[in-house]
Structure 1
Amino acid sequence: MTNAPTDLTGPRQSPGTSNTLLGRVFEAVLFDMDGTLVDSTSAVNRSWRRWADEAGLGESFRGARHGVPARQMLATLVPADQVNQAVNRLTEFELADTADITILPGAGELLTSIPEHRRAIVTSATRALCRVRLTASGVPTVATVVTIEDTSRGKPFPEPFLAAAQRLGVDPARCLVVEDAPAGLEAAHAAGCSTIGVEGTHAAADLIADIVVPSLDRLRILVQEDGVRVELLPA
């Protein structure tokens, strides 16, 4: 079982307070992309809104569920024989919309502080969309990237994180997952990974993780011979 979320800006815990995650050595750190490394929320919402309007859903469409693969969500919105067409159309909108996609605070510094063989990006996006958003935002190049096309099932199922651990040649139980969405954290828990939730797309109260931070610039990675450790920095 994981701990309840801890708001590091509130009175319940401040940076430096002991936590079961702090002080542990991890073999690898696995990062979500959208909402964790990259701020693409506006582009995501615009693309889904365009698709929904074109599909005639109107006010019945409540918006995208962040962190869940598009195909899984579209399958709940259109008949089965129209899912492929809907995925292709939504993908067209998303690939074309890179306006105001930016790297999130602390993401670049955190990524570059981790050795290549101990880091990965695990995203619900397609390979093409992942490449477009990473390029548009200026996220440092990462060699190991797992996309929705690389697994049989996406988040909230554990397969994406299990695939990333396998590619890196590490034990999932010794991986640290950094995620902004409940579905991603659920997938990480199911894979047996430790978790850090990042506020932004969702409020801290919605993120069930070992630690919840307001942004990645509150984290620092310390590299040692047998892995990496995470430290919390003061606000």
Structure 2
Amino acid sequence: MTLPTRSYAAFLFDMDGTILTSIASAERTWTKWAIAHGLDAATFVPTIHGVQSVETVRRLNLPGVDPVAEAAAITAAEMLDVGDIEPIAGAAAFLASLPPERWTIVTSAPRALAEVRLKAAGLPMPATMIAADDIPNGKPAPDCFLVAAERLGVAAGDCLVFEDAAAGIAAGEAAGADVLVITATHSQGVKTSHPTVADYIGLSVVARADGLALTQD
């Protein structure tokens, strides 16, 4: 599938699975939590990706479980398990090539966890980053991308969203942005109508008069 051909005012990047991979770390923590709560981990754990932890817990509607407290405990555990977090191939160089005022990160992770994971992966944290703490309605609601675009001083419809998870893709669509899907962490690929790339190897950006455009070797 070909890359988007238009130029964009800014690029908005999801974090987990899009610019870094923390899947192993997250799934270890959530597997322990699921087993402790009598859940079938094999069925449950694949549902955690791309949404805020508190929403993942809340939708289970477990009796006697406080979603906010449980999510906080899960985040604390995840922050201690970052040894095998690494950037998606080519992500560091690609981000470094972008004008700093023309991109940001939009993540469903709490800010403290996002900072730890970005540091572990050796990736920069933009001052305009949107984290779970900043948005009452997480993905798939469009709020996070709308606020991110506003912070950058651009319209969401003039942004390209980089995503890997269904909830984030839906959020980007709802915000009116174009979406590019990163498939590096998906062994089976991703079923989507949006353009896809495996990673950032061979991906570069050209600054045009009307914005940023992608090219691929």
Paired-residue identity, %: 37
What is the CA–CA distance in structure 2 between the aligned matches of 1:164 and 1:72, rounded to whole Å?
Answer: 21
What is the CA–CA distance in structure 1 between the aligned matches of 2:41 and 2:31, rounded to whole Å?
Answer: 10
Q: Deviations over 1:68-114 (max 9, x none)?
A: 11111111222485212211221121111112001111101111111
Q: Deviations over 1:20-51 (max 9, x none)?
A: x21x1100000010001111010010010121
1:75 aligns with 2:55: no
What is the CA–CA distance in structure 1 between the aligned matches of 2:183 and 2:44, rounded to whole Å?
Answer: 21
Number of the residue aligned with 1:172 = 156
After the TM superposition, which of the residue ranges 141-150 and 76-85 deviates more from structure 2? 76-85
Question: Are the equivalent residues in 1 in contact too, given 2:7–2:210 (CA < 8 A)?
Answer: yes
Q: Deviations over 1:1-37 (max 9, x none)?
A: xxxxx3xxxxxxxxxx6x6x21x11000000100011
Q: How many residues align?
A: 214
Cα–Cα, structure 1 residues 197 and 60, in superposed 2: closer, same or farther, change >3 Å?
closer
Q: 1:27 aligns with which of 6, 9, 17?
A: 9
Q: Which amino acid aligns with 2:18?
A: T
In the TM superposition, residue 225 of structure 1 has moved relative to its aligned partner by 4.2
1:99 aligns with 2:83: yes
Cα–Cα, structure 1 residues 190 and 130, in superposed 2: closer, same or farther, change >3 Å?
same
Cα–Cα, structure 1 residues 223 and 83, in superposed 2: closer, same or farther, change >3 Å?
same
Cα–Cα, structure 1 residues 95 and 189, in superposed 2: closer, same or farther, change >3 Å?
same
In the TM superposition, residue 181 of structure 1 has moved relative to its aligned partner by 1.0
* 1:216 alignment partner, SS class: coil
1:52 aligns with 2:1: no
Cα–Cα, structure 1 residues 141 and 112, in superposed 2: closer, same or farther, change >3 Å?
same
In structure 2, runs of 5+ residues without a counterpart are none
* 1:114 alignment partner, SS class: coil
Q: CA RMSD in A?
A: 1.8
What is the CA–CA distance in structure 1 between the aligned matches of 2:92 and 2:64, rounded to whole Å?
Answer: 40
After the TM superposition, which of the residue ranges 36-45 and 194-203 deviates more from structure 2? 194-203
After the TM superposition, which of the residue ranges 34-43 and 52-61 deviates more from structure 2? 52-61
Cα–Cα, structure 1 residues 227 and 60, in superposed 2: closer, same or farther, change >3 Å?
closer
In structure 1, runs of 5+ residues without a counterpart are 1-5, 7-16
What is the CA–CA distance in structure 1 between the aligned matches of 2:92 and 2:206, rounded to whole Å?
Answer: 15
Number of the residue aligned with 1:147 = 131
Instruction: Give TM-score, length-normalised by structure 2.
Output: 0.91
Q: How does 1:186-205 map to 2 (within 5 A)?
A: 186-202=170-186, 203-205=188-190
* 2:44 alignment partner, SS class: coil
* 1:57 alignment partner, SS class: coil
What is the CA–CA distance in structure 2 between the aligned matches of 1:215 and 1:48, rounded to whole Å?
Answer: 26
Q: 1:184 aligns with which of 168, 177, 180?
A: 168
Q: Deviations over 1:138-170 (max 9, x none)?
A: 012322200011112111110010010000000
Q: How does 1:123-142 map to 2 (within 5 A)?
A: 123-142=107-126
Question: Are the equivalent residues in 1 in contact too, given 2:183–2:190 (CA < 8 A)?
Answer: no
Number of the residue aligned with 1:207 = 192
In the TM superposition, residue 58 of structure 1 has moved relative to its aligned partner by 4.6
Instruction: Give TM-score, length-normalised by structure 1.
Output: 0.85
